[in-house]
Structure 1
Amino acid sequence: MQAISGAGYPGISSLDIIDNVVPYISGEEEKIEWETLKILGGVEETEEINTDGTTAKTLSFDMHQAHPLRISASCNRVPVVDGHMECVSVRFARRPPPSPQQVREVLTAYTPEARTLGCPSAPRHAIFVHEEADRPQPRLDRDYQCGAGVSVGRVRQCRVLDIKFVVLANNVCIGAATSSIINAEFALLKGYVSV
């Protein structure tokens, strides 16, 4: 991250009075590392034998035990009202890795299962891939798909890993309120819960 002064005086004038980034948010880095495994792993059905000899099916999170993901996160509190950003670098197991254009195409074409099932609150287009070098930006892009979509930009090759990019999500909408509604709709349509 670069300081406001890196933009030259007067810099970003609306932020001139804000002069801080907090490089630690208690528990957040660990939560991101754990939740990413849970989210990308999905749900698996297992059978357990009860004490009376009957079997019961249970649902649990697939945390990638068979093919573990390695995730490292750093969290900084920045002077933005809404919108969490991530600078992501990825190494792919498959060699050769995909090109930046292939990654852009896959992200653009992605349709979440919640949309396919017909969840009313699911965004029509879950991911928007920006071509501009200076996007996404919280002020301009956090309300994409009424805050339920994700903006991705700067998809490019990484000299250390394979691909790197920037991700922006509206932490209030898709991070909490809207995602809770989508999760409830999804659970109902999948038959995980009934009304």
Structure 2
Amino acid sequence: MAVPQQQKPDHKPLIKRLLVITLAMFGFGYALVPLYDVFCDLTGINGKTSSMAATADKAVVDLKREITVEFLARPNADMPWLFKPQTQKIKVHPGEIKLVYYEAENITAATMTGQAVPSVAPGQAALYLNKMECFCFNQQVLTAGQKLLMPLQFYVDPALPEQFSTITLSYTLYDMTKHSQPETVAALIPTGGNHE
């Protein structure tokens, strides 16, 4: 008596579905960054600050109000640089343009690339903190042992609601070395020793 052969299951539909799901997940992950930026710009959540350009002659200074702006810095756990603000906090009048500096030092034996990501507390105040110039706009390339002073020029919009008297601007520094193109890094490395 012949034993009937079992038919092999057809896995093609399952494979097609898994490929479609994988592509959809990749597309969703790719779209998250721009969607997150748009969401944070609209709501002010997570401290996304405004980066609209402004000039001193357009800023209307409100001398009747004074806002305390605090500066914090920390490297990410995987970032071996020293990173700190030169100034811990300052008092500003809304509309007044201020310039402060952050310090970074690459204490490793290799050239590295860093990128600072800002966060503002309280989050609702982020929409009123306008950065005119910021080291966070670009990646920073430092050779082994190099120090760098990095500028932050900003003003607080006079439209900041009265309930806010203190704004905390915090930066987290991330290691972007693996994500940088070698030719780009080589072109950005300054010649002539350390820059402070």
TM-score where L is the length of structure 1: 0.27
Which of the pair has the greater relative contact order for Cα pairs under 8 Å at 6+ separation? Answer: 2
Is the radius of gyration larger for structure 1 or structure 2? Answer: 2
Structure having the larger proportion of residues in helix? 1
TM-score where L is the length of structure 2: 0.27
Structure having the larger proportion of residues in strand? 2
